[in-house]
A and B are shown apart, each in its own frame.
Chain A
Amino acid sequence: AQTVTQSQPEMSVQEAETVTLSCTYDTSESDYYLFWYKQPPSRQMILVIRQEAYKQQNATENRFSVNFQKAAKSFSLKISDSQLGDAAMYFCAYRSGSGGSNYKLTFGKGTLLTVNP
């Protein structure tokens, strides 16, 4: 079974600065997807960024980028120019690339990010 580990229960960053959230995973599969989800106080799960394992290029979405190290099974999220609205719980998630429409996700335990003004 796949596992996802987020080793930082809490992180804080000053507004406008950069922060990196860590995630490692364990799998024997070669085809899979990795995700970062954001959960603000409203508790709505919002997809931040997605990475396909077969792609060597790191995914980027505006101020959010990942450092995907497939051999090390590491998938960190970098948030640049942090904003107050970035404060939330962040979850790393794994999905197998096989299984057709079955996109069940395995989640890490989350990192609570605080942004200080």
Chain B
Amino acid sequence: DGGITQSPKYLFRKEGQNVTLSCEQNLNHDAMYWYRQDPGQGLRLIYYSQIVNDFQKGDIAEGYSVSREKKESFPLTVTSAQKNPTAFYLCASSANSEAFFGQGTRLTVV
């Protein structure tokens, strides 16, 4: 089935470590996005990419990095510079008129 796959579903990280969240789509969409969700905050845009090898910062990019080497993949790295990384992370892709979301990754810093 076509869709967006995020892995892992749950991720634990020690303070000071970088961690990479995976996002893969087989919808042939050009645009992909990463959102962060915190209680009471809604979804906030971290990074987005409109085409392979190109990406732009969103509203809360500090402490995060991304790459877009393939159309299907848009991994997000949470670096040690991110001061409060514990959150729920959602990946999305879009084409003409609708954004499709993955099932999310819950990241916890231990």
Least Cβ–Cβ distance between B89 and chain A, in angstroms: 11
Residues of A in contact with B (beta carbons under 8 Å apart): 4, 6, 9, 33, 42-45, 47, 50, 91, 100-110
* Chain B residues close to A by CB (< 8 Å): 30-31, 33, 35, 40-45, 48, 50, 58, 88, 90, 92, 94-95, 97-99, 101, 103-104
**Are B101 and A45 in touch, CB under 8 angstroms?**
yes
User: Would you give the shortest CB distance from B107 to chain A, in whole angstroms?
Assistant: 13
Interface of A is mostly: loop
In chain A, what residue has the closest Cβ to B98? Answer: A47
Expressed in whole angstroms, the Cα–Cα distance for A47 and B97 within the complex equals 11
Closest B residue to A110 using CB positions: B42
- Are B48 and A102 touching (Cβ within 8 A)? yes
Using CB atoms, name the residue of chain A closest to B41.
A109
Given contacts A42-B103, A101-B95, A104-B58, contact A9 B40 (CB under 8 A): yes
